[in-house]
Each structure stands twice: as structure tokens, then as C-alpha cells.
Amino acid sequence: MTALLLALVVAVGPAQAFDARMAASSAAAERLQGPLDGTWRLTTARGRLLYVIQIADPPGSAGVLQAAWRDPAIPGAAGVGPVQTMIRRGAVLRFNIADMSAVLRRDPRGGWRGRLTRAGQGRLVRLIRP
């Protein structure tokens, strides 16, 4: 046990020391991931939730993005699936969900904004953190 951890255990007790160490480890792991890593919400321009998207963004934003989607309106396994492709090039993010494609641009106020297209019909959407 390192001297720092031992000092923490003595000062606050084993349970609090464990919780503090787990929180520190989690924060360190998050710092190693890219900026898109985590849970996002794909909404209409007016804020209605369309999909929840979980993105794995490798460290340094240098690797291949991987993602999965969940449609909250469809219960069970029918309402989830992989994002077929997700490509980030600078301030542009492109991805495909089932028979839909999206092209989004980074929003200077946070998140991403763009168009989701299905069968030639487009709608304005936002990708935001929950």
C-alpha cells in the first residue's frame, strides 16, 4: 500500500478511502478518452429525444469511433443496435443508424448540429450530452 493511500485510510477510514480512490481512478480513465466518448442524446431541433447514442472515442481522438444506439420508443432488443459507421473529420461528424444517415457540425455552444436523412427526407437534429 502506498504511503498516500495508507495516510488516506488512517485519516478518513477504509470505506471513504476506497471511494476516493475509485473516483480518482475513474476520473483518470476518463481523461484518457477522446471528447466524444460517453453517452449522447440525438434530439430534434426542438429537443424531442430520438435516440440515445453511446460512443467509444479512443485516446487522442486518433482511432476509429465505435457507437451503439437505443431508440427509447421501442422496448427490448428491437430498439437497440450498432451504429454502422461513425466518422469524425475535424468539426464534421457523419454516421449511419439503420436506414438513416446524419451529417453534423460541431456547435460552438456545445454539442453538434446538423441533418438526419431517411429515404430522402431530412430533419434538423442535435447531438448533445444528457
Q: Which CATH architecture has domain 38-128?
A: Beta Barrel (2.40)
- Go through 105-120 and write b for each residue having 16 or more CB atoms within 10 A of its CB, e for each that does not: ebeeeeebbbebeeee
Q: Is the pTM of this model over 0.95?
A: no
Over the stretch 38-63, which tens digit does the pLDDT of each residue have? 999 999 999 999 999 999 998 876 67
Sequence-distant (6+) residues with CB within 8 A of 28 are none
Domains of the chain, by residue range, sit at: 1-31, 38-128
Which of the pair, 130 or 6, is modelled with greater confidence?
Answer: 130
